[in-house]
A and B are shown apart, each in its own frame.
Chain A
Amino acid sequence: MTTHRLQARLITLGTAIVLVVAACGPSGSTTAPGGTTPAGTQPAGTQPAETTGADLPYDLWVPDPQLLADAQAEGTISTIALPASWCNYEEVWTTFIDRTGLTYNGITPDAGSAEELQAIEANKENPGLQAPDVLDIGLAFGPQAKDAGLIEAYKVSTWDSIPDDAKDPDGFWYGDYYGVLAFEVNTEVITDVPGDWADLKDPQYANSIALPGDPRLSSQAIQTVYASALANGGSLDDAAPGLQFWKDVVEAGNFVPTIANAGTIAQGETPITIRWTYNALANRDLSAESGGAPIEVVVPASGRFAGVYVQAISAYAPHPNAAKLWMEFLYSDEGQNLWLNGYCHPIRYQDLVDNDKVPAEQLAQLPDVEGAVFPSLDQVTSASELITAQWDSVVGVDVAE
């Protein structure tokens, strides 16, 4: 009866599907959503930086012609773990694309530092678009990547102006920016804004405080616990008081055991959280633009804790020259200033300020981070181990049945 018709229809449908997939499936021109700016949307959290070169105290970046030619022969730059709103990265890569004509491939913008190393490891012989060229990882991961042979050395032209304690002497990894942990507060829900760590234990903040991640997994959350040690009688070498601090917060009834993100902050479920200044300030701007709750960012009066991220080029990069070009851009005055627009302190900050290369209004909008302490590699590593190992036993609300 209708079996033949059914057959014919199914075959037609199947063929159509196959043709559609082959034709409009991703060809070389499609970029993943993390890649380019969709037309018409304003990069969130940035000042309009499209002033002409004449207004800026620094010169626009001019790529070295030979390197540019080599990179263009490769055609693409593959980055990993770079969210658009983190340190104004969206404007960074858009400017780079405009200036060089390369295609931008942003792999897994949501990834963590460990995933970045894994991505190199897993794609050693893969020249495809899953293999990253460059990394932006936490400080502790620089030496780890170097020991594992995953990165190669490269010293940018502005190498000498990078502080010595923020780079590998052989040039394998080099600091890119830093920020300080600050309180991000939804002032619609919380009228009396906390000013320092000790305030967080105040009973008026019942059911209000959440961490920005799981303190056994997320670097930002672990650093938060580490930072709270500074204000609770600990030091950079002694992170245990940090655990005790959060135990007190939980016992005061102030802790909300969920991960704080933009949605939960705006809705009021987690009106107080602790994040890097650049993330908090970017979210503050975004919230103001889109009708979200008013947000205030407070750098704690004591216990100011700074964290550094580092850049590196993959030893297995499919596009090594593009990678070098990218680094040159990031460490140029223009690149560093673009990060500054995202509220990050670029690593060459002191050098830029000394040479008056930072526009006055950008300087003004940076938060005051005077007195912030920078933990060393060893301190970060041992503190992380302590916190992840002991969080459950010291603080963990034991919920098994």
Chain B
Amino acid sequence: MSSAEQTTPVTAPKRPARTASTWSWLGVLPFFLWAVMFIALPAAFLFVGSFLLRDGSVGLQNYADLTTGAILPAFANSIYLSFFSALIGAIFGFLLAAAVILGNLPRFMRSALMTFSGVASNFAGVPLALAFVFTLGNLGLVTKMLAETFGFNLRATGFSLYSMEGLILVYLYFQFPLMVLVIAPSIDGLRREWREAAENLGATPYQFWRKVALPILMPSILGAGILLFGNAFGAQATAFQLSGGTIPLATLMISSQMSGDVLFNPGLGYAVAMGMVAIMAVSIVAYSVLQRRSESWLRR
């Protein structure tokens, strides 16, 4: 690529190779140390706890209980909710980020969107749920406006805020901004000269995007999608307020066992948490496989 590689010989590190590999491991040591102290140990605690039964004995009953009752539907619902909110979040979030970065909009819009996204990505829980109740609930601002101005009865369409569709709509409030924040550096990395080179070669913007930009961005987009999936999967406070007893979700199962007023069975809560870990592990593996494949595009 550059003349830098031709004129400068491949520089050996200043230290001998033996110490270089030692240094490599040391470099990631702080991170792993932190992870062990504050993730691995508590995670081990929950792993061990999942084998403790309600009567104090040890066994696999909690895992067997995972297939009973409302737990499997809870996992199904969680996956459905997370997947679709991640999908829609990724698409529109990407469009938003692309719009302010590449769309020739006034300069301030980019930083406004970035800073706003930082706040909105964490606006969740009861305040978010209530905000949507005040907007789209039975007496909500938009509901009333639609009825009075357009004669349009929102309830008659079957839409309810307290359904899976409603939850997805609410979850998007923190999914869009998260996508924007995570994908922005990657869109920044799209060099102008690639687009200009493509134009010079006669490509339409559509062809540029399809053949050049999207393949390059795909690993980042997929990675961001996984992040969004995990974000929705682990969300609890918002769903707690909105579902009110009608939509079983995995995180609600956990919190019900850990902190509910009745039938307190923390071992089961830990087992459900391990189930969530398993699902996330599978998605991360899938993502890694996909990323290895599409990363070949990034070889320069």
Contacts and interface: CB of A to CB of B under 8 A. Distances in A.
A207 B164 contact: no
Nearest to B139: A268
B278 to A, nearest CB: 20
B273 to A, nearest CB: 15
Nearest to B162: A257
Contact of B262 (A118, A207, A222, A259): A222
B297 interface: no
A258 B162 contact: yes
A112 interface: yes
Contacts of B266: 118
A19 interface: no
A157 B111 CA distance: 66
A203 interface: no
A207 B162 CA distance: 12
Given A258-B242, A267-B133, A118 B164 contact: no
A115 B247 contact: no
Nearest to B137: A269
B162 A216 contact: no
Interface stretch (B12-20, B68-76, B211-219): B68-76
A220 B246 CA distance: 17
Nearest to A219: B261
A389 B242 CA distance: 21
Contacts of B256: 214, 216-217
B259 A216 contact: no
A140 B262 contact: yes
Contacts, number: 115
Given A112-B259, A207-B138, A396 B264 contact: no
Contact of A221 (B138, B161, B245): B245
B163 interface: yes
B142 to A, nearest CB: 13
Given A264-B133, A267-B133, A384 B262 contact: yes
A256 B162 contact: yes
Interface in A192-229: 207, 210-211, 214-222
Contacts of B139: 189, 267-269
Nearest to A218: B261
A384 B242 CA distance: 22
Interface in B249-299: 252, 255-256, 258-264, 266
A112 B260 contact: yes
B164 to A, nearest CB: 5
Contacts of A269: 133-134, 137-140
Contacts of A258: 129, 133, 161-162, 241-244
Interface in B149-176: 155, 160-164
B123 interface: no
Given A392-B248, A396-B245, A114 B264 contact: yes
B121 interface: no
A165 to B, nearest CB: 21
Contacts of A140: 262
B244 A211 contact: yes
B261 A222 contact: yes
A214 B138 contact: no
B244 A217 contact: no
Interface string A325-345: 000000000000000000000
B246 A257 contact: yes
A400 B80 contact: yes
Interface of B: 69-70, 73, 76-77, 80, 126, 129-130, 133-134, 137-140, 155, 160-164, 240-248, 252, 255-256, 258-264, 266
Q: Which 4 A-B pairs have the closest CB atoms?
A: A219-B261, A217-B260, A114-B264, A257-B162
